[in-house]
A and B are shown apart, each in its own frame.
Chain A
């Protein structure tokens, strides 16, 4: 995928230095698996959360603020807080897991580290999906709901044929945002695990930064940024077109 044989523009020399094919492919694969996991967990959870948030009154205000808080913490602080939070001796999460009898260690065990990074991301970013969907739901005219219930629609039917199509626009941006941001994730896993143990949580951006900036070689760094951008662009474009097709197919079948 990324120029086996080193044929990218004039960067031949740069590409050969430092980058090993298997390592790069490993990082890319880890990255894709991670980004897909993020989408699979956060999108349904965000929709469910938006559906269960109260629609008006002081409760709505309080819940909105509480849900939004995690978004406002600078990313390096998020990593740092979870670093303490996950420790089995002094952190709430780690101590609770240890108390329950799990042999949990985000610094020693690869799958624990991976799960911790994922849970941290879910904690940090699900509110983004939820807030977008919530705002999308609120702009559905209230008159739709009595109409649907008179027509005898079940809760699920209301969701499937009224709420989901109305949320299509915001869901599209939520999916794309979460995808591209998780693909570029750097600060949080870097602060939390430093990419370890081994390279279980070394995602693409961190791998490339290590290789490019770590060796103060700006040529490869520029080539990496460009290739990186093209990968994200390609994947987002595919995702965008796919979601548009799914959306319009829905519309057509609804009109029939």
Chain B
């Protein structure tokens, strides 16, 4: 019985992974071909293997600086989101105060608002402060949707930890910061890991704000990419190569937080 279930699980997982990987494989496949070949022939692997598309990206400063800019503001945004959201989520999960439920739900409404709504205010504010076209500008703007997300996810994890743990720690004479860092955080490691990844991901793929608030010095890769669509038609091959490269930093991030996500409670000590 047990073995059979195990078998089913593996088959299901394998089937899903195939479903998940095939479109990505197709993108990688396209990135090693020329536009003519992509549009004319069906081939499971590149017929005339070429590095040209990657060369285009790595030799043109306006292309590769897009990656660097994106990484800078996404990293800033992720760190800020987590730093702000940890205490906020703790407060929402542990204290009852007037209107707590409403404020908690209100937070999420920032995530529901179409980003276009925030564009004009941000634009005016940043122009006044002289922040336009800087990395910090985009990082701050992305907090609008990442902080609510982070607070919500972290609150879910924190509420799963029994209150008795907090109380026991106080009785044992732990100060609050020490309790929070040495006891509480390890317990919600999985939550922090997955939150960091989601903040990274949503900031990484956001296009509208990132494009509007930057022009040259902080132009992100998602905005640079839109230039493959031009009057002369799509540059499929370069777009596929750029798309393949956008996966790399995120894959590295998840590789680093994987231990937090995968081990979770099992490794946390109380």
Contacts and interface: CB of A to CB of B under 8 A. Distances in A.
Interface string B76-120: 000000000000000000000000000001001101111011000
Interface stretch (A11-19, A105-113, A166-174): A166-174
B12 A48 contact: yes
Range class of the B interface residue count: 35 or more
Interface in B189-207: 190-191, 193-194, 197-198, 201, 204-205, 207
A176 B251 CA distance: 25
A40 interface: no
B112 A61 contact: no
Given A131-B261, A139-B265, A170-B157, A49 B16 contact: yes
Contact of B198 (A80, A92, A128): A128
B234 A74 contact: no
Nearest to A48: B12
Contact of B266 (A81, A142, A205): A142
Given A66-B21, A134-B261, A173 B239 contact: no
A240 interface: yes
A71 B201 contact: yes
A255 interface: no
A229 B108 CA distance: 12
Nearest to B252: A65
A147 interface: no
A141 interface: yes
17 contacts: A60-B262, A65-B254, A69-B21, A70-B24, A77-B243, A80-B234, A81-B27, A90-B39, A91-B26, A127-B20, A139-B264, A141-B266, A168-B156, A170-B153, A177-B111, A184-B112, A236-B112
Interface of B: 5, 9-10, 12-13, 16-17, 19-27, 30, 38-42, 44, 105, 108-109, 111-114, 116-117, 149, 152-153, 155-157, 159-160, 187-188, 190-191, 193-194, 197-198, 201, 204-205, 207, 221-222, 225-226, 234, 236, 239-240, 242-243, 246-247, 250-251, 254-255, 258, 261-266
